[in-house]
Amino acid sequence: MFKRMTVCLLVSLLFLGLLAIAETAVPETPGAQVGGTLTIGVSQTFKDLDPRIMNSAYDGYVTGQIFDDLIVLDPYTFEPQPYVAKSWEVLSDDRVRFYLNEGIKFHNGEDLTAEDVAFTFNWIADPENNSPNFTELVWMQEVVVVDDYTVDVITKPDYAPFAPGFAQETQSIVPKDTVLAMGDEEFNLHPVGSGPYKFEEWKTGESLTIVRNEDYWLTYPNLDRVVYRPIPELSVMMLELEAGGIDIADNMPAQDVVRFQEMTGRSVAQCPSMFCAYMFFNLQHAPGNDPRFREAVYRSTNIDAAVFSIFQNLTGVRSYGCVPPAIWANDVPYLRDNVALEEDDARSKRLIAELKADGVIPEDRPLTVYCPLDPRRTQIATIIATNLIENGLNVIVQPLDWGPYLDLAYRSESDPTAAELDMGIIGWSGGPDPHDFLYYLFDSDNATVGSADNLSWYQDPEFDAWIKEADTTLDTARREELYVKAQRKVYEEIINIPLYHYIETRGLNDRVQGFLISPLSEMHICDPYHNVWVKSS
C-alpha cells in the first residue's frame, strides 16, 4: 500500500514560537570506506521516478536518493530538521517562511532556488495536475517566492497549525526549468534531482542504477553506485540475500527471520512500522450497524493467538488501535487493558442467536468477510470466519484482487455488490502523527462514495468535532487529549477491530555499514542521518 503521510511537523515549533536555525550536516562515520556498489532487492518493480506523481513506497526508495526534501524528519524522534531549508520562521497563523541553503545544485548544474520549491509544491497542490499526492497538501494554499532563497508557505486558515508534509519523498524538490524543458513524461523516466546520487540507468523489470553525485552539497556520498533489483518472489529474494547477490532485502517473511538472525555474515534490522491492519464493519446497513453484531465478531476470536500464528511476533504484532505504538497519542496501554475484548465464544454464540432471532442477520445469504489477495490478511480473515461459523454464523471469506476490492470498499456507484459489503480486512499507513490515522479512517469527511478511506462509513459529529479541534490547535497536550478521547470512543463502539501492526524488517549483508531502519519505511542511503558504505571484500 502506498503511504499517505500528512506530517504535522511544525506543531511543536509553532507552539514554542521559535525560529528554527540549525546546521545541515551529516555526522562523521569513523572508518567508513568510500567506493563500492550496494545492491538492494526490492519486492516490486518501479513505476514512477518523478516525486510529484510517485505514490509507491518502492519508487520512494530511489527518488529519496535522487532528490532532496525541504526538511527531514529525525528518524528517532520524528522532529523536523533542516535539509534544503536551513531554517524557518512562523510569520502568522497561516504563513511559514523557509530560508533555503544556497549553493545547492541539481545534477545538471542548475541552482536549486525558491522558484523550484514553489513550482514543486504548487504543481502538486494544483487540482488541474491530478497529482496522486494532492491530498497530502490539501492544507496548503500556495507557496510564494520571496527572493531567490526564501519562500513563504501559505496554509488554509483551518489548517494553520499544520506544517507541511515537506519531509516526504512525494514532495521532493524538482528543477522547474528542467521539468518544463523535458516534459513530465520524459522527466519521469530520466529524473534530475539535487540528491546524493544521480540517475544512471533504468532497465525496466531488471534493475535501476544510481551513481554518486560527486558535487553533492551536503556530504560526499560513500558509495560509487547503488543498484536496485526488483525480485517479486520473496523466497528468491531470501536466496539472493543468502548467496550474496543482494546486500539488502527490503522485506522478509516471518519464517526466515530467525534463520537470518543466526546466519554468519547476515543480520536482520527491525523497527516498529506506521502500518496497521484492521477489520472494518459496514455501518451503512445491518448487521454491521448493530453493536451486538460487532461484539459477536470480536468475541469469536482470540486475536492475540491469531496474530501470533501468522507472524510469531517476528514481522508483526497485535494491534490495539490504529495509531501505531511508535508515535505519540497511541493510547496502547489503556486500549489493551480496558477496551480490547477477550475471546468469549459463549457470549458470541448468544449474541449471534439473538441477532438472528431479531432478524438483524440476513437469512437469505451468507455474510462475507472481504480481504485483499495478501496471504496474511487472507489468513486472519479465514481464522475469524472459521470461529464465526463455529459460533453459528453463516459466513464466507472472499479474497479479492486490489482493483475490485477498492471498488467494493469505496462503494463505487458502478459496483452493484457494494450494498452487500458486510465487513472486510484492510491496512493503512500514515505519517508520525495521529491525525493521519484517526482523520482518514473515521472522520465523516472521508466517507465519500468513490474514494472512501473511512471504510466503516462512521459518521459521528462529536468525533468529527474532536478531530477538527485537535487538527487546529497549537497545544500538543490538548491535541493528545483529544486524539486519545477519539480513539477510546471508536474502539469502545467497536467501529473496527484492530488486528496487527507490521514490524519493518530488512535483511542485511554484514558488509553494509551505516544503514538505519526507520518506522517511516524509507530506504535512505545518504541524507543528514545516513551515509551508508560497504566493507570491501
Residues near other proteins (CB under 8 A): 1-2, 4, 45, 47-48, 55, 127, 130-132, 134-135, 185, 188-189, 203-207, 229-233, 235-236, 239-240, 242-243, 245, 400-407, 410, 412, 414, 440, 448, 450-451, 453
At closest approach, how far in Å is the CB of 382 from other proteins?
21
76/402 with CB nearer other proteins = 402
At closest approach, how far in Å is the CB of 107 from other proteins?
20
Name the 3-class secondary structure at 152: strand
At closest approach, how far in Å is the CB of 509 from other proteins?
14
Identify the CA nearest to 4 among candidates 520, 527, 524: 520
One-letter amino acid for residue 230 of the chain: P
At closest approach, how far in Å is the CB of 278 from other proteins?
14
Residues 446/403, Cβ–Cβ less than 8 Å: no
211/517 with CB nearer other proteins = 211
At closest approach, how far in Å is the CB of 164 from other proteins?
18
Q: DSSP assignment, residue 142? A: E
135/150 with CB nearer other proteins = 135
At closest approach, how far in Å is the CB of 206 from other proteins?
4
At closest approach, how far in Å is the CB of 46 from other proteins?
10
How far is 209 from 188, CA to CA, in rounded Å?
15
At closest approach, how far in Å is the CB of 241 from other proteins?
9
**Residues of 277-297 as b/e, b for ≥16 C-beta within 10 angstroms?**
bbbbbbbeebbbebebbbbbb
At closest approach, how far in Å is the CB of 152 from other proteins?
26
39/505 with CB nearer other proteins = 39
Residues 515/508, Cβ–Cβ less than 8 Å: yes
Q: Which residue has the cell 486475536?
A: 303
Three cell numbers at 260? 537470518
C-alpha distance from residue 499 to each of 61, 311, 339, 383 (Å)? 27, 12, 14, 12
Q: Which residue has the cell 511559514?
A: 96
Identify the CA nearest to 161 among candidates 221, 206, 94: 94
48/433 with CB nearer other proteins = 48
How far is 158 from 8, CA to CA, in rounded Å?
14
E strand segments, 214-324: 225-230, 248-249, 266-272, 275-281, 316-318
Cβ atoms < 10 Å from Cβ of 189 = 13
353/452 with CB nearer other proteins = 452
392/430 with CB nearer other proteins = 430
Cβ atoms < 10 Å from Cβ of 419 = 10
At closest approach, how far in Å is the CB of 328 from other proteins?
23
Residue partners of 390: CB distance under 8 A and separation at least 6? 300, 345
167/237 with CB nearer other proteins = 237
C-alpha distance from residue 355 to each of 21, 89, 179, 219, 471 (Å)? 61, 58, 60, 65, 38
Torsion of CA 290, 296, 302, 304, to 10 degrees: 10
139/410 with CB nearer other proteins = 410
CB under 8 A, 24+ apart: contacts of 134-141? 135/4, 135/6, 136/4, 136/5, 136/6, 136/165, 136/168, 136/170, 136/171, 137/164, 137/165, 137/171, 138/6, 139/6, 139/164, 140/164, 141/94
408/497 with CB nearer other proteins = 408
20/53 with CB nearer other proteins = 53
Cβ atoms < 10 Å from Cβ of 392 = 18
Q: What interhelical angle do 234-243 and 254-262 show, nearest 10?
A: 10
At closest approach, how far in Å is the CB of 517 from other proteins?
24
436/522 with CB nearer other proteins = 436
108/451 with CB nearer other proteins = 451
At closest approach, how far in Å is the CB of 58 from other proteins?
12
At closest approach, how far in Å is the CB of 351 from other proteins?
32
Residues 498/488, Cβ–Cβ less than 8 Å: no
